[in-house]
Amino acid sequence: MKRCLRNGSGVNEDRISDLPEALLLQILSLLPVKDVVSTSVLSKPWRSLWKLVPKLNFDYENFQSEHETYSEIVCKLLLSNKAPVLESLHLDFKVGKCRAVDVGMWIGIAYARHVRDLALHVISEKRSFTFPTSLYNCETLESLTLTSWVLVDVPSQVCLKSLRTLRLDYVDYKDDETFINLLSGCPNLENLVLYQELPDMETCTIAVPSLQRLTVVDANDAQGHGGYVINAPSLKYLKIYGFKALEFCLIENAPELVEATIMNVSKIINEKLLESLTSVKRLSLALSPLEIKFPTGSIFYQLVSLELYTDKAEWWNLLVLMLDSSPILQVLKLIGKWSGENNHLAIRNWDQPKNVPGCLLFHLETFMWKGCTKLGEDEKEVVKYILRNSNRLKRATFSRIIYEENNSQDMVENLEMVEELESVVRASNSCQLLFECNLYTLRR
């Protein structure tokens, strides 16, 4: 049964108060708390609605008051909240304006209300604020996000029994044990997102038996020290961005892996990346074969969809290697970066493979080349090779970026390319060629 704030037909013009309460709460949940509280003065039906909002979003910047400190406001509002279930609490606060004890109190109140999703964003200049240990002990918390320059210190026994999602954005760890202790205290963790810079000579061990999704973004230049060890037997989705100059990156057995995205990984001394991904179905790579060890002899026996970014050195060799090792590939996408003039590296010395890869002959159905400004001679050779040899190809799409509309030179080049490619004798009778132009606009 849906409760409405007010009974009565819409004879008057006020339409919004007629909406069901649940819907109004949904709308209020999208607002920062300050705006939510101010709805209490709107009109009679709105007087108590603000207390039932299940999602609270405190942003520090808008909460300056002369009479009360931020901590007091937060506590009072938290305690005033009468929502049957406190679904989410997002708090940002500035160290120096709020004391550790205050933070402890907020966490205490939130946990007493059985909050499901907690996000704490710390605004601090020095990286030395530490959360109280009570943060890491809660039976009901399902999602935790900690952001920015806090020192995470986790003693040995912590328990976040219901935690399924953990996100750590640029936090520092007091020591190696902290991270391990934290992960071991989350027996049901399914989703881990790490944005960080691995400190010098550190090993980041991610060993979580229940983990299904892992995203690690670490673009720091490690200068040859330290690395990652990932041991997640239930892993299904993996994203790695930016590993640079690590000493090692090892991914242990992940037989359930469905999808992997590996971008901008380079100069790792001892790595076992591609080798560990042989069971994936979908792969997205922004890698150069010069930087990463291609596991010769490995077969990506389940790979159906491959995306390759063309802004890496000798990416075309990686393309050939992948085609050779992916017997059932159906979808191939080449993607140029959408910024700057040199958004992909022009192919040099393209050599046709000696034997046509099996996937081209028997499986490839979709081919797409996105984000290129212009296809040079070698690129066209690649395209022609694919067109000539893919027996099952249904559609080949070429999506160019143009920087100005109606640039006549662009249009002429485009036409020439279209003609040239259309004239290629295709192996597949049902193959369609599609040419798209996208105007590149600067977004602000």
Partner 1 sequence: MSEGDLAVMKPETMKSYIWLQTADGSIQQVEQEVAMFCPMICQEVIQKGVGSSKNHAISLPQRVNPAMFSLILDYCRFHQLPGRSNKERKTYDERFIRMDTKRLCELTSAADSLQLKPLVDLTSRALARIIEGKTPEEIREIFHLPDDLTEEEKLEPLKNTMDDPRIRLLNRLYAKKRKELKERERLKNVEVEEHVDERSVDDLLSFINGRDPKVVKMSKGKKKKKKKKDQKIVSSNDIHDKESHDLYSKQQCVEETGSSMREVPNLPSAEDDISTPKAGSEDEDIDDEIDPAMRELLDREVEDFAQRLNSNWVRSLGKERRPVHFSINGNGTTRRHTGQSP
Q: Tell whether residue 302 is a contact of partner 1 (CB under 8 A).
A: no
CB 276 within 8 A of CB 299: no
> b/e for 114-143, b at 16 or more Cβ within 10 A?
ebbbbbbbbbeeeeebebeeebbbbeebbb
Q: Tell whether residue 177 is a contact of partner 1 (CB under 8 A).
A: no
Residue 135 or 283 with smaller CB distance to partner 1: 135
Tell me how far apart the alpha carbons of residues 261 and 274 are, in angstroms, rounded to a whole number. Answer: 11
Among 1, 3, 7, 41, binds partner 1 (CB under 8 A): 41
Q: Tell whether residue 439 is a contact of partner 1 (CB under 8 A).
A: no
Q: Tell whether residue 170 is a contact of partner 1 (CB under 8 A).
A: yes
Q: Tell whether residue 126 is a contact of partner 1 (CB under 8 A).
A: yes
Tell me how far apart the alpha carbons of residues 49 and 213 are, in angstroms, rounded to a whole number. Answer: 37
Token output for 131: 């959360």
Instruction: Write out the DSSP string of 311-364.
Output: TSTTHHHHHHHHHHH-TT--EEEEE--SSSS--SPPP-S----SS--HHHHHT-
**Segment 62 to 81, residues that bind partner 1, using CB under 8 A:** 65-69, 72, 75-76, 79-80
Smallest gap from residue 210 Cβ to partner 1 (A): 28
Q: Tell whether residue 6 is a contact of partner 1 (CB under 8 A).
A: no
Residue 120 — φ and ψ, nearest 5°? Answer: -115, 120
Among 16, 411, 437, 439, binds partner 1 (CB under 8 A): 16
Among 137, 148, 317, 366, binds partner 1 (CB under 8 A): 148
Count of residues near partner 1 by CB under 8 A = 74
Smallest gap from residue 442 Cβ to partner 1 (A): 17
Instruction: Write out the DSSP string of 98-152.
Output: B-HHHHHHHHHHHHHTT-SEEEEEEE-SSTTEE--GGGGEESS--EEEEESSEEE
Residue 182 — φ and ψ, nearest 5°? Answer: -65, -45
Q: Tell whether residue 97 is a contact of partner 1 (CB under 8 A).
A: yes
Tell me how far apart the alpha carbons of residues 400 and 402 are, in angstroms, rounded to a whole number. Answer: 6
Tell me how far apart the alpha carbons of residues 317 and 268 are, in angstroms, rounded to a whole number. Answer: 19
Token output for 3: 């409760």
Among 130, 188, 397, 414, binds partner 1 (CB under 8 A): 130
Among 44, 348, 443, 444, binds partner 1 (CB under 8 A): 44
Token output for 400: 């160019």
Among 156, 157, 177, 200, binds partner 1 (CB under 8 A): 200
Residue 47 or 293 with smaller CB distance to partner 1: 47
Q: Tell whether residue 132 is a contact of partner 1 (CB under 8 A).
A: yes
**Segment 46 to 65, residues that bind partner 1, using CB under 8 A:** 46-47, 50, 65
Q: Tell whether residue 394 is a contact of partner 1 (CB under 8 A).
A: no
323-326 contact pairs (CB < 8 A, 24+): 323/353, 323/357, 323/359, 323/360, 324/353, 324/357, 325/298, 325/299, 325/300, 326/299, 326/300, 326/357, 326/359
**Segment 211 to 270, residues that bind partner 1, using CB under 8 A:** 220
Among 54, 93, 116, 172, binds partner 1 (CB under 8 A): 172
Smallest gap from residue 258 Cβ to partner 1 (A): 20
Smallest gap from residue 88 Cβ to partner 1 (A): 15
Q: Tell whether residue 85 is a contact of partner 1 (CB under 8 A).
A: no
Q: DSSP state, 264? A: S
CA-to-CA separations, 384 to 39, 375, 376, in angstroms, rounded? 63, 12, 12
Q: Tell whether residue 133 is a contact of partner 1 (CB under 8 A).
A: yes
Q: Tell whether residue 159 is a contact of partner 1 (CB under 8 A).
A: no
Residue 75 or 83 with smaller CB distance to partner 1: 75
Q: Is 183 strand, coil or helix?
A: helix
Q: Tell whether residue 32 is a contact of partner 1 (CB under 8 A).
A: yes
Q: DSSP state, 89? A: E
Among 52, 83, 119, 123, binds partner 1 (CB under 8 A): 123
Q: Tell whether residue 437 is a contact of partner 1 (CB under 8 A).
A: no
Among 42, 85, 269, 418, binds partner 1 (CB under 8 A): 42
Tell me how far apart the alpha carbons of residues 110 and 107 are, in angstroms, rounded to a whole number. Answer: 5
Smallest gap from residue 299 Cβ to partner 1 (A): 32
Smallest gap from residue 174 Cβ to partner 1 (A): 6
